[in-house]
Amino acid sequence: MDMAFTREDLDVRERARSFARQHLWPHEITLDENGSLDEATEAGIRQGVLDYRLNAINHDPEHGGQGMTIVQQCIVNEEVGSATNGLWGRVWQPPICLKQGTPEQIAAYLVPACRGDITVSFCVTEPGAGSDAGGIRTSASLDGNHYVINGEKCFASHSDSAEANLVTTIMDGDPARPTLFLVDKGTRGFDMRRMPRFSQRSGHEHPEVDLVDVRIPATQMLGDVGEGFELTKDWFVEARLAIAARSIGMAIRASELALEWARERQQFGRAIIEFQGIGFMFAEMATEIMAGKSMIYRTAQEIDSGLDRRTAHAKASAIKYYCSEAAFRVVDRAAQVFGGRGMMCENPVERLTRDVRLERIWEGTSEIQKVIMAGQIMKRGLDPYAGWT
């Protein structure tokens, strides 16, 4: 198996790395201190995404995306993931399921989302339905040529500012018929109840939303009745690989900063990197980074080569679980190397400590990834994880 990056892959890496350092890193402290960036700065970042050809890396050129391979998408997410305060979110990747829309929906939502003209949020989680997606209670019912939606969502990231919101519902209260709808900004009854404060100061909100008699045309359904979960499967694979790659990007940056410090910091007449206790920490950090990158890029190449969807889903859970947990350990060790300075908000490692903690939770907690893996092992044995073809 040839796992070397191609010339195109290396070009993607250089563009993504340069973009992160020139357009994301310089704004980290301002965002952390103020909780937002001014319009001119946000506009500059958006233009940078376009100039570096990093917009909609997960969508086809015919829709305005970059048409990158899964390997290349992981490369981009690793590089931009190094930016603190969730600045990686400025590199937009519209939900992959939008490509399953009607021609009219693709023209109205996917194409402008790929250009960066609009944003589309994904509203899935509810107070009683997070890890248990089958617990969704937000319900849609047909009324003439419209659907009426009632329910509530939480952790509905960007739904306060997005021009469109993908909302997961169940049809007529039936959990066996999950269905997706596109709800435009400003639609009556789609109301922001509360904007909780979170540890990550990204400038983006994660609102709690009430849906009260939200009335939308039947043409706003994405896919068919009952296809809601099916349409999200590819998105979960994509999102979990992206989280894994971002996590490794965070781990690498934290390790590099800690190593630079350990070479300079003198204690007892020696650089602290020379002490075995510190050296062992870096050995552990390097091993976890190496293992995580190997998992990510091997599986990404397999997917690009036609890995079946079910196996890709099984492997994505293992990768998301391992890389997010490993990155958390790496960043924690990096903070330990810095000592008290590792707790200063001006230090990127402190901000990465907050950021990487989230990666163990969203798009399926580590515990849910283990539930998925255990189910796969019961059905199919260890081959999805231990096999090698």
d(CA 64, CA 121): 19
Quick check: 76 and 244 in contact, CB under 8 A?
no
The pTM (predicted TM-score) of the whole model is 0.95
Question: Same domain, yes or no, for 88 and 130?
Answer: no
Question: Same domain, yes or no, for 258 and 365?
Answer: yes
Classify burial at 336, counting beta carbons within 10 Å of its beta carbon; exposed 0-12, middle 13-18, buried 19 or more: middle
pLDDT of the residue at 149: 98
389 in a structural domain: no
What are the C-alpha distances in Å from 301 to residues 72, 73, 131, 294? 10, 11, 28, 11
Tally of domains within the chain:
3
Question: Same domain, yes or no, for 241 and 373?
Answer: yes
d(CA 156, CA 160): 8
pLDDT of the residue at 1: 67
d(CA 69, CA 189): 39
357 in a structural domain: yes
1 in a structural domain: no
Q: Any residues with CB less than 8 A from the CB of 209 and at least 6 apart, and which?
A: 123, 152, 153, 154, 156, 159, 190, 191, 192, 193
Collapse the DSSP code of 155 into the 3-class scheme (helix H, G, I; strand E, B; otherwise coil) and give the result: coil
298 in a structural domain: yes
Question: Same domain, yes or no, for 359 and 260?
Answer: yes
Q: For each of the chain's 389 residues, which pLDDT tens digit applies?
A: 678 999 999 999 999 999 999 999 999 999 999 999 999 999 999 999 999 999 999 999 999 999 999 999 999 999 999 999 999 999 999 999 999 999 999 999 999 999 999 999 999 999 988 777 778 999 999 999 999 999 999 999 999 999 999 999 999 999 999 999 999 999 999 999 999 988 888 888 899 999 999 999 999 999 999 999 889 888 889 999 999 999 999 999 999 999 999 999 999 999 999 999 999 999 999 999 999 999 999 999 999 999 998 999 999 999 999 999 999 999 999 999 999 999 999 999 999 999 999 999 988 899 999 999 999 999 999 999 998 87
Q: Which CATH number does the domain housing residue 352 bear?
A: 1.20.140.10
Strand pairing report for 178-184 and 120-123? unpaired
363 included as an active-site residue:
yes
Question: Same domain, yes or no, for 233 and 261?
Answer: yes
Question: Same domain, yes or no, for 236 and 375?
Answer: yes
Distance of CA 277 to the CA centre of its chain: 34
Question: Same domain, yes or no, for 263 and 369?
Answer: yes
Single out the catalytic residue among 104, 227, 363, 367: 363
374 in a structural domain: yes
d(CA 138, CA 150): 6
Question: Same domain, yes or no, for 46 and 186?
Answer: no
367 in a structural domain: yes
Q: Which domain holds residue 111?
A: 7-115
